[in-house]
A and B are shown apart, each in its own frame.
Chain A
């Protein structure tokens, strides 16, 4: 295919991409239902479900009480019995309240029943800090990555939000779709044609030759900002957006890291047992020794206080500093 033929796209907001994916899936498949707090006529906390209630009605778009265990449990049970529910958990912090049915039942149902039961369920939840404090800011995706039977996706663009949500709703097992408070108001080009983005495929957002920077979700934007600044300093940074955390597309990262010889991971969550350490180890298993570093939150709760919130979280300056320090120590003179 000639590279100058591009599919037609339209610029929409991240929240609109989610609504579009839901609308198309609910139109195509009567088994798709949406459960969650404020997902009905209110249209979702970030307007990401606007219009669905009016189109599909209260049987398929259900406002729930504040009861995360029952919300996810009902979604799992309904999935096991023939529906394809999407359960909206407003913030990822509250996912903890519903982990039992997700981890103990949904992620194991297929295995433990010898393939008799499948749980095609999507749990959509919003991570990340935006001034809401210690119990409304967390990025807990690394916990979920260690659960066999669970898939986890984390888009950073409207196109991927649309495409990955469409893909998640086609899966036969549970998928956690993690978005981010700071992504909802962002806009981007989304293909006009309907389709989906395959789960398990990372994407190179920016090509580079000196260092590979692997990240996901909102931090992809921070990574691109850092890469832009590094470019002006003469450091060519390749930015990989993971998109899917489970399964991880480790080959794409390893190939890039083998080429650049340096790998830095960036996440908004904790470094201990985090996404980064998993990526680094799996890449090192493939490449052998290369220069590595990881950037993430401070080992502290994330306050709603703007000074403390900013202090706890990675930003472009910290990424730049980490990369320069890494290259300085591994390749003196390069940065």
Chain B
């Protein structure tokens, strides 16, 4: 993917979420604006055969993986045309056929699942990699340490990506987690690990390419920490605990503005083209919303289908 493609993908995520939150009747949503570079940088390092799993904060990763925006929007609104027939909703987006094994809204709950997907690849000798994106909040969970240990012992084709947006609902990362760097958590298990600037999509994708290639060739698991920002509160119905002054600083670390400035400086992009890209991203989001709004809710009888 070219840097322009990466920029376009990030713009699409930002615009998608802006359209989603513009309607209050769309309820509780987990937004990933500010962390687009993590989603897009990770997805850029994957092939179609690989599987991406995420925390509940999954809109960015789902779109970056190439899921149809209309179907994603429909799922977020609980519509039958959604990726999960409207039955998963926010926090549980999934489309394994597209390499998006899916989100799971228990914090840390997808870590062991991702390791299991990696185990399946390994046992069946499929040269694919499982990647799990989780937040800093999950780093306190025992599941991470159990997963790191097994991934190391069994050399699983697994890359763990901590999207460290530095807040777990209202708790700052520094108040909740002792390690100096969260990537240090992988050190005792002998796994390659690094911390990169999660607002720099080029850094994220470069680090991911190396870890994914290593895992794919049998070299085993790795841990990448991406220092990102959360531009919204925890969810669209959670009150913001950061001050306006703090938010102003947070918003200076915008992955989109960063890449756009880089491309403008390098002469790979001009202001007119950038404006066109923003406009296209917005139109795509509006179209996704129109599709989702027009889609029907599932029949109430669906409450009992696909249970057993």
Residues of A within 8 A of B (CB): 31, 33, 59-60, 62, 64-65, 67, 69-70, 72-83, 85, 100-101, 104-105, 110-117, 148-149, 151, 173, 247
Contact = CB atoms under 8 A, between A and B. Distances in A.
Contacts of A78: 116-117, 119-120, 123
B203 interface: no
Interface residues of B, number: 45
Given A60-B123, A116-B95, A73 B88 contact: no
B307 A64 contact: no
B142 interface: yes
Contact of B109 (A79, A100, A112, A151): A100
Contacts of A148: 307-308
Contacts of A60: 123
Contacts of B121: 81
B254 to A, nearest CB: 33
B84 A67 contact: no
Contacts of A65: 146, 149-150, 153
B116 A76 contact: yes
Contacts of B82: 114
Given A81-B51, A82-B120, A83-B124, A113 B94 contact: yes
Contact of B88 (A59, A113, A173): A113
Contacts of B51: 81
A19 B303 CA distance: 39
Contacts of A82: 120, 124
B24 to A, nearest CB: 25
B133 interface: no
A80 B121 CA distance: 11
Given A110-B306, A114-B88, A149-B308, A59 B116 contact: no
B86 A114 contact: yes
Nearest to A247: B308
Nearest to A98: B112
Contacts of B230: none
A117 B87 CA distance: 13
Interface stretch (B33-41, B97-105, B277-285): B97-105
Contact of A80 (B92, B117, B123): B117
Given A101-B112, A116-B94, A70 B143 contact: yes
Contacts of B308: 110, 148-149, 151, 173, 247
B113 interface: yes
B82 to A, nearest CB: 8
A114 B119 contact: no
B113 A112 contact: no
Given A114-B86, A116-B96, A74 B307 contact: no
B115 A77 contact: yes
B73 to A, nearest CB: 16
B106 interface: yes
Contacts of A85: 116
B15 interface: no
Given A67-B149, A67-B150, A74 B143 contact: no
Interface in B142-156: 142-143, 146-147, 149-150, 153-154
A196 B75 CA distance: 40
